[in-house]
Structure formats: C-alpha cells, structure tokens
A and B are shown apart, each in its own frame.
Chain A
Amino acid sequence: MKRRNLLASAAMGLLLASGASFAQGMDKVKACFVYVGPIGDGGWTYQHHQGALDVQKTFGDKVEIQYQESVPEGADAERVLTQMALGGCNIIFTTSFGYMDATNAVAAKFPDVKFEHATGFKRDSDNVSTYNARFYEGRAVQGHIAGKMTKSNKIGYIASFPIPEVIMGINSYYLHAKKANPAVELSVVWAFTWFDPAKEADAAKALIDQGVDVIAAHTDSTAPLAEAAKTEGVIGFGQASDMAAYADGPRVSSIIDNWGPYYVKRVGALLDGTYAQADAWEGIAGGEVLIGDITDKVPADVKAEAEALRDSIAAGTYHPFTGPINKQDGSPWLAEGATAPDGDLLGMNFYVEGIVGDIPQ
C-alpha cells in the first residue's frame, strides 16, 4: 500500500513538474522529425530537413535535433513515433500525410509530447497540431506558365496519391492553364508513390510520348525533369525544392516548400512557453510557399504575368479558386466571385469541369 502511494505521488510530482515546465517554457527542447523519404531526395524531404537545420541554426545548443529518414507510412511509423516519444523528444514533426493515424494514436499515449503533423486534418488530442502550406497557390502560377508555354496544347501532371492536397494542386494547375490558354488539355498520371525515381521518369516518358510538352510533378524526386531534359522542347517545374540544377534545361520555375519559418516559430514557442495547439495553413503570403526563379526560357511578358499573379495571391487580392467554377460533372461549386472555403479545399475529392478522367477512389 505504502509503495503504491509512493509511486502515485512520484508520478503526480512528475506530471506537475512537467506541466509547470511547459507553462514556463523550457531550457532545452529536443525536436524530432519523421521523414517519408531520404533527406537527399532533392525535393520534399530535403526541404523539411532544411527547415530542421534552420531550427538548429536559430536556437543553437538550446535545441537538439533528431530525425529518421524513409519511415514507411503505417505501422512502422507508429513504432518510430513511440520510440521517439520514449526517447525524450519534446516535439515531433511528422512530415507526410500518411502518418496521420499513427501520429494521433501515439499522441494520445504521450500527452506531454507535442506532435505536429504536416498536411493532415486530424487533431484528436490537445497535443496534436497540424500544419500545411497552400501549395495550390504555387500551382496557379505554374498553371499560368504551362498554359502560355505549351505548343501542343497538352500539359501533364504526375500525381502521387488521390488525396485532397494533390487534387487541389491538379485543379489549380488546370484552372490557370485553361485561363491562359482555352485550348489546353490536361493528362494526369497517377504514380501511386511519393518517391520512386525510375517510375517517375517512366511516367514523364509516357506523357512525353503522348505529345505532352509541359510536365508538372507532385512526386518528390527530380527524375521527371531529368526525363524532360532528354526531349527538346519539353519543359517542367521544380517540385518542393528549387531543383535549380535543371535551370539551364527544362526547369522554367518551381514551387519551393519553405518550412523553416514555421519550425522555428513552433520550437521557439515551446522554448518560451507560448506554445498552443494550432492548425496552420500559410501560403505565398506567409513565406511558406516560394516561387523559384522563372528562367529566360519563359518570354518576358509571360514571366511578368506570372509574377503579377504571384504578387496578387501574396497580397490577398486574388484567390486561386475564385468562382464561377463547376465540378467535373457540371454541377456548380463556386458562384461568380465566390472564393473556396478552406474546408472545401481540405476535403477536395473532385476534379473541376474540363479535366478528363476519374480520380482513383
């Protein structure tokens, strides 16, 4: 009996101590990152890792960084997360949509550890926050360039998985390409992978073989650009990272995910005790989405239009999803002048009118 009391009061004490330490901020934070690919992928995971390095640079020895690469989405993720939580991580960033259930399951077991899930929407317990970037804003700029630049009037999109994030990107890309060039046709290829350079290259090749001359990718590697480089006249965009190595070849612009500011803000909040659950969704305006340099391959007037589009999105005067927009089946979605509510975007499971093909369910 006595011992049980002792244990209980010890546990109580620990809880109180940790609760108090959160309120007052912390002296040292261990920030942990779970990556879906290798940090050398040159795209998605690379950019998250750059964000992690920014945190380290900003806070120096007040922060300890730990990360694990190429963690499969699913049961393995839960194991990795549990290990990190047990290993003294104070805040854990899970950087892929597929970690959603694992993040929430583990978070429920470790109420003192903060969890931050990228691109997700589930926040089952108080210690889970979600964060995302408005990539569709960047897709709008890409779409405009694509519509203006295509000579065959066929543009392509290498899609990864049929989740709202990707569908949003496809719709935004198509809408703005169509606006720039009414004759444009979009082909979507589902690769069902985030990272498989050979398959991404094959997908790009299939698009090129079918006459597509502008390729956007929603997968993580630079392989589609490398494939595009083999055929004269085909252009593409850097995805997630700038991919500037292809700037003298097919890459005419890029969408850059810039996670550093958000990571620094969140870890900083944990250090000074102002941390609170959040649902962050910043875009070009917040600096989370950057548009990479538009190269000289793009004519000056198109470049100016694209930059004006970017600036109007950043200033908040233009929303990429502004009505009238119909769904693929012709039913109305947004009325004239209406902009898409965030809820619609985050649950997006339909193509807009004009896109051919079905979304895999």
Chain B
Amino acid sequence: MDFGGINPVILIATLMASAVPILMAALGEAVVERAGVLNLGVEGMMIIGALGGFIVAVETGSPVLGFVGGAVAGALLSLIFALLTQVFLANQVATGLALTLFGLGVSSLGGQGYNGIKPPSTTQLLPDALADLPVVGPILFGHDWMVYFSILMTAVLWWVLKSTRIGLIIRAVGESHEAAHALGYKVNRIRLMCIAFGGAMAGMGGAYVSLARVPQWVDGITAGAGWIALAIVVFASWKPWRVLIGAYLFGGITVLQLNLQVAGSAIPVEYLSMAPYLITILVLVIMSAGRKANGAPAALGQNFHASR
C-alpha cells in the first residue's frame, strides 16, 4: 500500500509522535487562555522542560521521571510568570515574551555539560506482538506512552472544560473575571493554577523533544515549536479536539513534505516547505468560519485585581 513511494501507515504513525510536543504545549496554553491569561512564554517553558526533563532522566536513569521533571521545570518557570502578572499585575504580553527569552537563556546556561549525552530511551509501551499487526499495529499500538498520554489529555481537557464544574469556573474566570469574583471565586488563584498547569504541559512537551523525539540535549532544541503551539491554540478556537487536529495536521504535513522530497516528488521544495504552515492555518480557519461564538475568551490578556 504505497502512494508515490510513501507508505501511509508509517506516515500516520510518525506524525502522531512528531505532533506530541506541539500538542501538549498547545493543550496547556488552551487552558491558560480559557482562564483569561495570555502566556506568550510557551517556547521558554518548553525549552526549560526539555532541559529539566533531560537532566532528571540522565541523572536518575528513568525516562518517566524525566517527563515528571520536565513538567515540574515548566511549571516552576510559569510560576514566575504567574507571580509577575497575577500578583504584581505586570503586562501579560511583555512578561510572556520576557519569559521566553529568559527560558532560552537559562536553558542554555543550565545545559552546559549536557551536550552529547544520550538519555535513557523512551520505549514503545505495548508488546511487539501488537505493534507488528498489519496497518493498525504501527498506528495504534506502536507508540511510546507519551503519545497515548497526549491523546488522553485531549479527551480529559475537552471533558473537563465542557462538562465539569471546574471547567465552568475556569471559563467563567476567562470570560468575565468581575462576575466570577462577584460569585466568590478567587480569580487570581484559579488563574495561577491554570498557568502552572499550562507550564507543566509545555514542559512535558519540551521534554518529549529532548527525551524521545531527538533524543539529546542541544541548545535551542525546541526551535520555535512553542510559537507554533500558540498559533494553533488561536486557530483551533481554544477547543481541545481542534487543537489535536491542528497539531496532527501540522506534524503530519511536516513529515509528509519530507517524505515527498525523499520520494522525489515533482512539487518544488519551496512549496513543500511552506505547506505545513499554510495548510494548518487554512484548515483551522475554514473549520471555525461561519460559526458563532468562536471568539477569544472575553477577558483574555486582562489582569484582575479585587480592589473594585
């Protein structure tokens, strides 16, 4: 089953893995933005997570602990953002950008001495017998646990945001912090927890790059994935399943264009190179066109202080 020299089964299996970092970071950011906070520091949190996860995995020899370490590192960095924007009411856009720059710098400093080391490998979760099944094997059973975890998180976040009380509170805080405050919810505390969650998710996404996708530490390893994640959140109208579609589209077309090049496609390389960005944006815009209430959370980017 080949199309122009490309095996769709391998392609799908590859794209599911390559989309994990963006998917994790974008899911986290979607929750943060639903709570009305615009954190542009995703790239910084990802790379800190990539480094933190890498160090923990190398020192302990356990890749699972590595991902936990990545999440903790990302969350810790995001707490700086939370402190500045929720307590000191600093401008969120500026603080977020600063967080990215800070994260890139700190990771470069902290990563000294970790170049060229190989981390313990993150292996396939299910036994070979399942993964070797034709067609469904590689797609459904051949992955490491983070791939399943990222899909699980998509489902969980969709359910939490849509059908639970916690989701309702988060959305209320994001739509109208005044009203949520009047109802007695601690706006800044809820936002702080959402920010930390977003940081942990971005950190895990980053750790996936340094522990599974690449696997090694080099400076600047995330190379802009955080910005793609931010864009996907907006184009996916802050909805978890659409975030998943966006991340898979982007990851898929990135993998596809490289495969097309190898297979000697007649399409010029320049078009192939820009295809992931173009098609992802196009599809997500078309999906959200013509429906109502696709707007951003009403209080997005606004700080709140309970003085009034």
A interface with B by C-beta (< 8 Å): 37-42, 46, 69-70, 156, 187-193, 195-199, 201-203, 205-207, 209-210, 212, 221-223, 226-227, 229, 243, 245, 356-358, 360
Once the chains are docked, how many angstroms separate the CA of A361 from the CA of B109? 38
* A193 / chain B contacts, CB cutoff of 8 Å: 223
* A212 / chain B contacts, CB cutoff of 8 Å: 262
- In the complex, the answer to whether A199 meets B223 with C-beta atoms within 8 Å is yes
Of the candidate stretches B73-81, B149-157, B214-222, the one touching chain A is B214-222
Once the chains are docked, how many angstroms separate the CA of A222 from the CA of B210? 12
Once the chains are docked, how many angstroms separate the CA of A198 from the CA of B262? 17
- In the complex, the answer to whether A202 meets B254 with C-beta atoms within 8 Å is yes
- In the complex, the answer to whether B216 meets A222 with C-beta atoms within 8 Å is yes
Once the chains are docked, how many angstroms separate the CA of A356 from the CA of B263? 10
Given A198-B221, A212-B262, A190 and B273 touching (CB < 8 A)? yes
- In the complex, the answer to whether A202 meets B18 with C-beta atoms within 8 Å is yes
Given A40-B218, A42-B116, A197 and B262 touching (CB < 8 A)? no
Once the chains are docked, how many angstroms separate the CA of A38 from the CA of B263? 32
Once the chains are docked, how many angstroms separate the CA of A205 from the CA of B18? 10
- In the complex, the answer to whether B108 meets A38 with C-beta atoms within 8 Å is yes
Residue of B nearest to A230 (CB): B121
- In the complex, the answer to whether A202 meets B116 with C-beta atoms within 8 Å is no
Once the chains are docked, how many angstroms separate the CA of A200 from the CA of B258? 10
Once the chains are docked, how many angstroms separate the CA of A199 from the CA of B218? 13
Contact with A along B1-17 (1 / 0, CB 8 A): 00001110011001000
- In the complex, the answer to whether A223 meets B258 with C-beta atoms within 8 Å is no
Once the chains are docked, how many angstroms separate the CA of A10 from the CA of B11? 69
In the assembled complex, B93 has its CB within 8 A of some CB on chain A: no
Q: Which of B112, B115, B223, B224 contacts A42 (CB 8 A)?
A: B115
Once the chains are docked, how many angstroms separate the CA of A38 from the CA of B219? 6
16 other A-B residue contacts (CB within 8 Å) besides A41-B218, A190-B261, A199-B254: A37-B219, A38-B220, A40-B218, A42-B116, A46-B115, A69-B108, A70-B220, A192-B269, A193-B223, A205-B258, A209-B262, A210-B259, A212-B262, A221-B218, A227-B214, A357-B261
Once the chains are docked, how many angstroms separate the CA of A188 from the CA of B116? 26
Given A198-B221, A221-B218, A207 and B262 touching (CB < 8 A)? yes
Residue of A nearest to B21 (CB): A198
In the assembled complex, B209 has its CB within 8 A of some CB on chain A: yes
What are 18 A-to-B residue pairs whose CB atoms are below 8 Å? A38-B219, A40-B108, A40-B115, A69-B219, A189-B261, A189-B262, A198-B21, A202-B14, A202-B254, A206-B255, A206-B259, A209-B11, A210-B5, A210-B263, A222-B216, A222-B218, A223-B216, A227-B214
Once the chains are docked, how many angstroms separate the CA of A245 from the CA of B215? 13
* A360 / chain B contacts, CB cutoff of 8 Å: 268-270
- In the complex, the answer to whether B209 meets A156 with C-beta atoms within 8 Å is no
* A198 / chain B contacts, CB cutoff of 8 Å: 18, 21, 209, 213-214, 221-223, 225
Q: Which of A42, A193, A212 is packed against the most chain B CB atoms within 10 Å?
A: A42
CB distance from B306 to the nearest CB of A (A): 42
CB distance from A240 to the nearest CB of B (A): 13
Given A40-B111, A357-B264, A206 and B218 touching (CB < 8 A)? no
* A245 / chain B contacts, CB cutoff of 8 Å: 116-118
Q: Which of A69, A195, A205 is packed against the most chain B CB atoms within 10 Å?
A: A205
CB distance from B135 to the nearest CB of A (A): 15
Q: Which of B11, B261, B264 is packed against the most chain A CB atoms within 10 Å?
A: B261
Q: Which of B11, B216, B262 is packed against the most chain A CB atoms within 10 Å?
A: B262
Once the chains are docked, how many angstroms separate the CA of A198 from the CA of B210? 9
Q: Which of A38, A197, A206 contacts B209 (CB 8 A)?
A: A197
Once the chains are docked, how many angstroms separate the CA of A188 from the CA of B118? 27
Q: Which of B7, B21, B259, B270 is packed against the most chain A CB atoms within 10 Å?
A: B259
- In the complex, the answer to whether A209 meets B259 with C-beta atoms within 8 Å is yes
Q: Which of A206, A209, A222, A358 is packed against the most chain B CB atoms within 10 Å?
A: A206
Once the chains are docked, how many angstroms separate the CA of A356 from the CA of B266? 11
* B116 / chain A contacts, CB cutoff of 8 Å: 42, 222, 243, 245
Once the chains are docked, how many angstroms separate the CA of A197 from the CA of B212? 12
Residue of B nearest to A220 (CB): B218
- In the complex, the answer to whether A189 meets B258 with C-beta atoms within 8 Å is yes
- In the complex, the answer to whether A42 meets B262 with C-beta atoms within 8 Å is no
- In the complex, the answer to whether A41 meets B219 with C-beta atoms within 8 Å is yes
Q: Which of A40, A46, A201, A245 is packed against the most chain B CB atoms within 10 Å?
A: A40
- In the complex, the answer to whether A205 meets B14 with C-beta atoms within 8 Å is yes
- In the complex, the answer to whether A210 meets B218 with C-beta atoms within 8 Å is no
Given A199-B223, A226-B216, A245-B117, A40 and B258 touching (CB < 8 A)? no
Given A202-B254, A360-B270, A195 and B223 touching (CB < 8 A)? yes
* A195 / chain B contacts, CB cutoff of 8 Å: 220, 223
* B268 / chain A contacts, CB cutoff of 8 Å: 358, 360
Residue of A nearest to B261 (CB): A189
Contact with A along B155-185 (1 / 0, CB 8 A): 0000000000000000000000000000000
* A188 / chain B contacts, CB cutoff of 8 Å: 261
Q: Which 10 A-B pairs have the closest CB atoms?
A: A38-B219, A206-B258, A40-B219, A245-B116, A196-B223, A360-B269, A210-B262, A206-B259, A197-B214, A187-B262
Given A195-B220, A197-B221, A360-B270, A206 and B18 touching (CB < 8 A)? no
* A201 / chain B contacts, CB cutoff of 8 Å: 213-214
- In the complex, the answer to whether B209 meets A202 with C-beta atoms within 8 Å is no
* A39 / chain B contacts, CB cutoff of 8 Å: 219
Residue of A nearest to B268 (CB): A360
Residue of A nearest to B109 (CB): A40
* B115 / chain A contacts, CB cutoff of 8 Å: 40, 42, 46
CB distance from A31 to the nearest CB of B (A): 22
- In the complex, the answer to whether A203 meets B118 with C-beta atoms within 8 Å is no
Residue of A nearest to B225 (CB): A198
